[in-house]
Structure 1
């Protein structure tokens, strides 16, 4: 199974964000109630892999893209509404 790409990320204060591109090898989405990016954090360091971020796991069992806690979307977008990094591709089942 291929992991979906994080096609864009507006969470610019994240340590894994480089010019709107996620560079985490694999992010985790959700906590079963909110589709936030669990991998988001701020620090003075930068991290990740310049080849681009992927979705490693998704805890949003009620999302139509979720199959066995794995994201099946072709790619996701992460936004920053209300100061929280959120999966904008989340769609209730």
Structure 2
């Protein structure tokens, strides 16, 4: 599973120091490559000893997607069309 190399969405509960600490995220709710795991609450969650990875990707038109699995070396998440989007998303 590819790692989330950067998360620039400070409001997300899994983001600490521009790093994602969710064990795995899901990307996509077509037509936007948004982080479906993005979540805002009053406290920080996730596992502080791990770096988040991409568990599934629903963006079947992305060049990195093979059978709903991301094949990119790593991804960046940041603000785009939605609150938290996969910035590595690249349509075929």
- Where do 1:28-39 residues align within 5 Å? 28-39=26-37
Cα deviations by residue, 1:4-41 (Å, 9 ceiling, x for unpaired): 00000001000000010000000000012110000001
Change (3 A) 1:83 1:63: closer
Match of 1:91 in 2: 90
Cα RMSD over matched residues? 1.0
Task: List aligned pairs for 1:5-84, cutoff 5 A.
Answer: 5-50=3-48, 51-81=50-80, 84=83
Q: Where do 5+ consecutive residues of structure 1 fail to align?
A: none
Segments of 4+ moved more than 6 angstroms: none
Q: TM-score, normalised by structure 2?
A: 0.94
Compute the displacement of 1:83 (Å).
5.7
Report the structure, 1 or 2, having the larger strand content: 2
Pair 1:70–1:82, CA change in 2 (3 A): closer
Query: What is the TM-score of this pair, normalised by structure 1?
Result: 0.93
What secondary structure is seen at the aligned counterpart in 2 of 1:47? coil
Structure 2 gap ranges (5+):
none
